[in-house]
């Protein structure tokens, strides 16, 4: 349930459940998450015999934007296993992914986003650089059909 207050919440305390029920440990630990959103399209229509010289706006389809998650490479194949299910056509591979924004003291959930019927559409590892000192990263792009917020 969303918790209203005067000051905005900080962005760095969040939990991700990839549909497994687990938000603990390195497999659920993401450094960055972006792109959660939706849009409702609008169609314009005007009949030729309209007395107004303007168009009507008709509500169209709901579209959900793709979500990108990034985490350090931890040697886990959980994301690959999920992607393998999807590319092999397993319909049970669609998941409900839950994102929870936590309070500063990590004691309460202040807002929740649910990505319904989510699937991986892209997985990228790297870049790798022999002279670099950065953490090796993997990136995951999720497409989903509907967004619900609590």
What pLDDT is recorded for position 53? 93
Q: Give the mean pLDDT of 9-17.
A: 93
CA dihedral for 105, 2, 8, 116, sign (positive or negative): positive
What pLDDT is recorded for position 23? 92
Report the predicted TM-score, pTM, of the whole model to 2 decimal places: 0.89
In the chain the domains, ranked by start, together with CATH numbers, are 14-149 (2.30.110.20)
Q: Are strands 14-17 and 32-34 parallel, antiparallel or unpaired?
A: unpaired
pLDDT exceeds cutoff 90 at 43? yes
Task: Name the average pLDDT for the chain.
Answer: 94
Residue whose C-alpha is closest to residue 139's, from 56, 66, 89: 66
Residue 97 CB coordination number (10 Å): 21
122: pLDDT confidence band, cut at 50, 70 and 90? very high
pLDDT exceeds cutoff 90 at 95? yes
User: Rounded CA gap, 10 and 81, in Å?
Assistant: 33
pLDDT exceeds cutoff 90 at 2? no
User: Rounded CA gap, 68 and 34, in Å?
Assistant: 5
């Amino acid at each position: 349930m969303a918790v209203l207050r005067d000051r905005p919440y900080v962005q760095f305390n969040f939990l991700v459940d990839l549909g497994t029920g687990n938000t603990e440990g390195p497999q659920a630990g993401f450094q960055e998450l972006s792109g959660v959103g939706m849009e409702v399209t609008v169609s314009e229509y005007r009949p030729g015999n309209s007395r107004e010289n303007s168009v009507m706006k008709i509500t169209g389809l709901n579209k959900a934007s793709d979500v990108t998650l990034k985490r350090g490479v931890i040697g886990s194949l959980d994301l690959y296993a999920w992607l393998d299910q999807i590319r092999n056509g397993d319909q049970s591979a669609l998941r409900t992914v839950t994102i929870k924004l936590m309070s500063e003291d990590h004691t309460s959930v202040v807002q929740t986003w649910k990505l319904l019927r989510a699937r991986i559409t892209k997985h990228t590892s790297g870049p790798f650089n022999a002279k670099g000192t950065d953490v090796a990263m993997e990136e995951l792009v999720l497409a989903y059909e509907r967004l619900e917020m609590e």
